[in-house]
Structures are given as structure tokens and as C-alpha cells.
Chain A
Amino acid sequence: AQTVTQSQPEMSVQEAETVTLSCTYDTSESNYYLFWYKQPPSRQMILVIRQEAYKQQNATENRFSVNFQKAAKSFSLKISDSQLGDTAMYFCAFPYYNQGGKLIFGQGTELSVKP
């Protein structure tokens, strides 16, 4: 079964500091994608970053980067220079093609950035 686990329900960080959110997953597929989505209080789910499993290089999008460890099935998100606008729920997600490409989400990590 395809599963996604986020073991940190809540985290907080001081503005301008760095924080890392953890995600582990389980799949028998060899080629796949992984995503991090952000859901602020406005509720709109926003795609933050994606990683393709066949790429060894970790993805980076401005202040957001991932640490992808394929053998360990680990996919963490690092946010550098945290800003107040980063306050949100963060979800790790995995697309499962055997069911129409549905996204399987983790339970989420609620991140609070404090001034």
C-alpha cells in the first residue's frame, strides 16, 4: 500500500531562521514524484516544490529545498530565512497512478513562524 507519514503535527520557528519538516513514504514503484503543498489559513492548497525520484539532485525553489533520500524513502522540506507568510499547514503528497493519479497526502505539519 502507498502511504505517506508526517510525524511532526506542529512546529514553530523564529522569523529568518531555518526549519525542516519531515516526511516518509512507502511505495513499490521505482519511478515517481513527490510534492510538498502549503495550505495557509485561506485554505488554498499551493504547490511548493516537486521532486522526481529518478533525479538524484535535490529540488530547490527559492527559499524552499528538499532532502530526498530514495533508499530511506524520506522526503524532507527545508525552509530557509523563514517569513511570517510561511505560516501554514504543510502536506507531503505522493501521486498514485493505479488510481487515476490520485494524490496521497500525509497528515500535515502545522508550521508557525514567530516574529
Chain B
Amino acid sequence: ETGVTQSPTHLIKTRGQQVTLRCSSQSGHNTVSWYQQALGQGPQFIFQYYREEENGRGNFPPRFSGLQFPNYSSELNVNALELDDSALYLCASSLKRGLPEQYFGPGTRLTVT
């Protein structure tokens, strides 16, 4: 059984640019959530996808958007990057919508300069 994987591991972008982060959910898991974790803080929920549709969203602006594909993998897109977007971005999957346990990937460290 393969766990949650994320790519890339880390990247550096310039303010104003756009970035796409990728996540493959754990085998058999159909629900994917994304979190932003600033340094020294707990993760903050961005949104969740279930069967290719957004299933809940946190307090993040529309320039944070996502996709889920038929194989349940997911992308997080961030447009018009700002310095405050520098953070660890975590992807988590759960076996199905409504189950409370979420299993996390290793994260992508994004630095915006």
C-alpha cells in the first residue's frame, strides 16, 4: 500500500508568479484535503476534494484553487503569489468522505521571494 506522496519537495518562486503543487492520495482513498502550515504554526485548512468536486473550503482567497482527478490525485494552484504564501503545504487523504482520519504526505515547502 502506497502512502500519500507530494511533489515537488520544495521550490522557490517570485512574488506574482503562479505555482502548482501535486498530491497522490493513499491507495483506495477518494478524499483529498490541502493545508497550509506557516512556520511554527498548526496547519490551516485550505479545501477538500471528493470525487473531483470541492467539498469544503477554509478562509483562503480565490487565487488558491484546486483540482481532483479521476484517479483521486489532486493539484493545488496558487496564483499571484505573495510573500505570506511561503509555507509548508500539506496534502492529506482519507478513505472516504466523512471518515475523520486523514493521512498526510511529506509536504511541499514553498518559498516566495
Q: Which residues of A contact B (CB under 8 A)?
A: 4, 33, 35, 37, 42-47, 50, 91, 93, 95, 97, 99-108
Contact = CB atoms under 8 A, between A and B. Distances in A.
A50 B45 contact: no
Interface string B71-112: 000000000000000001010101001111111111101000
Given A44-B104, A44-B107, A47-B103, A101 B41 contact: no
Nearest to B4: A44
A105 B45 CA distance: 9
Contacts of A37: 104
Contacts of A93: 42
A44 B91 CA distance: 10
A47 B101 contact: yes
Contact of B43 (A46, A97, A103): A103
B94 A45 contact: no
Given A99-B45, A101-B33, A102-B33, 5 more contacts: A45-B107, A99-B57, A101-B56, A101-B94, A108-B42
A51 B41 CA distance: 23
User: Interface of chain B, helix or strand or loop or mixed?
Assistant: strand
Interface of B: 31, 33, 35, 40-45, 47-48, 50, 55-58, 88, 90, 92, 94, 97-107, 109
Contacts of B31: 101
A107 B56 contact: no
Closest 3 CB pairs of A and B: A100-B56, A105-B42, A45-B104
23 contacts: A4-B42, A33-B100, A42-B106, A43-B109, A44-B107, A45-B90, A45-B107, A47-B103, A50-B101, A95-B100, A99-B45, A99-B56, A100-B48, A100-B50, A100-B56, A100-B97, A101-B48, A101-B56, A102-B48, A103-B33, A103-B45, A103-B92, A105-B43
B77 to A, nearest CB: 19
Nearest to A104: B45
Contacts of B41: 107-108
